[in-house]
Structure 1
Amino acid sequence: MLALPALLAPAAGFAADKDCPASGSESPLELHRDWIMEGWERREADPAFVFATKMQRYYDLTHTEGVFYDNFAPGQTQLFTDSARYGANWEDLQNAARSVRHGLTSGHDQLLDGNVASTTLGFVGRLERLNGEVLAFDGRSQLGWTCRDGNWKIRQELNYAWVVEPETIADVLGKGELTP
């Protein structure tokens, strides 16, 4: 298994850029929070989910190489090496949902080393399909970030979730505070 620095090393075509924020709203951990609480959220009246439009703040869609894994990924594969293909894979699921809501649990952490970072967080989610079926889950997410032109972008992603009863997470949905 590769060590964290090897996984987060800038890919070919990525220029080292040490001007990315280490704290504040554009730091990796805050971006990870927003990625869950804003990026993947869906309300019934929202426009169609188009990954390249809604998620461009978090992914570099011109340099798409990386490792993107999610055990809940729809379709035939859970592992992708291209962020654009990974993201497009979620469009049908998102657009077939009446709503997708999330909340943060515990386990938040951020490691920074110059132009690379790793963040982890715990989260829950509730997806309601257009047919009324509800899928509730508890999960953990680890993102590997690289600094690109002064902005943090996801280059590695590991998400793992398991199904839970909807009532067990109801009081956490909508809570997006980063607490230890």
Structure 2
Amino acid sequence: MRIRLSLIAAGTLALASPVAAQAQSAPVAQCAVSGASSAPELHKEWILVGWDKPVAGQSWDFREKLGKYYDWEAKDVVLYDDMAPDHRIARSAEGYRALWEKSFQALRRAHHLVLDGPETIVSGALATSTLEFAARLEPAEGQPIVSIRARSTLVWRCTGDAWKIVREHNSTRRITPDESRQLFGF
């Protein structure tokens, strides 16, 4: 009986403590689980709008095109794409920008298609989404076009009321010019 009373008293004190009171009154992040602001829709937009460069010679600024998708403040970001220079891993959105901006700026055009997905799991303040996409990357004049198929998995964290990427893994394989023409129609 004494042990039970001690446990009840300890529980009551814990609930009355300022830390417990703060935890109970802390705002809960609310991110969309469906619609345009949901993780699966953002994943599609991320590849189709963010990484696309449909006009030859168009300027491409990572932060302008993709800034809204990444968590620029987080200290636990891990971003990887097997096409990254030297297969480097970026540990911040800024580091990822530094890996990609110069090479994408140098491209004449970049076209992307979603082939499958996204498949998404949402649990509390985290979501993961996976999709398959194709890309047709046109370098400067005289260089061969690179076409790929890729699986992209993103982990999103709900920060306030918006999903932000904190993990990224893309695995690619090159496809033939014929496969590329079948997918893109040109």
Q: Same fold (TM over 0.5)?
A: yes
1:97-152, Cα deviation, whole Å (9 max, x unpaired): 11000111124300000110000000110000112420000110000000012000
How many pairs were matched up?
A: 159
Counterpart for residue 102 of structure 1: 112
Q: Is the 8 A contact 1:141 1:157 kept in 2?
A: yes
Counterpart for residue 167 of structure 2: 156
Could you say which structure has the larger radius of gyration? 2
TM (norm. structure 2) is 0.78
Q: Is the 8 A contact 1:17 1:150 kept in 2?
A: no
Separation in structure 1 between the aligned mates of residue 114 and residue 182 of structure 2, nearest angstrom: 11
Q: Which runs of 5+ in 1 are unaligned?
A: 1-14, 175-180
Per the TM alignment, residue 68 of structure 1 is displaced from its structure 2 partner at its CA by 0.6
Aligned runs of 1:23-62 on 2, under 5 Å? 23-45=34-56, 47-62=58-73
Tell me the percent identity.
33
Separation in structure 1 between the aligned mates of residue 44 and residue 27 of structure 2, nearest angstrom: 24
Per the TM alignment, residue 50 of structure 1 is displaced from its structure 2 partner at its CA by 1.7
Give the direction of change, closer, same or farther, for the CA distance of 1:16–1:146 in structure 2 (3 Å limit).
farther
Give the direction of change, closer, same or farther, for the CA distance of 1:27–1:93 in structure 2 (3 Å limit).
same
Separation in structure 1 between the aligned mates of residue 159 and residue 152 of structure 2, nearest angstrom: 21
Using CA pairs under 8 Å that are at least 6 residues apart, name the structure with larger relative contact order, 1 or 2.
Answer: 1
Counterpart for residue 6 of structure 1: none
Counterpart for residue 99 of structure 2: 89
Per the TM alignment, residue 32 of structure 1 is displaced from its structure 2 partner at its CA by 0.3
Counterpart for residue 115 of structure 1: 125
Counterpart for residue 169 of structure 1: 180
Counterpart for residue 151 of structure 2: 140
Q: Runs ≥4 in structure 1, deviation > 4 angstroms?
A: none
RMSD: 2.0
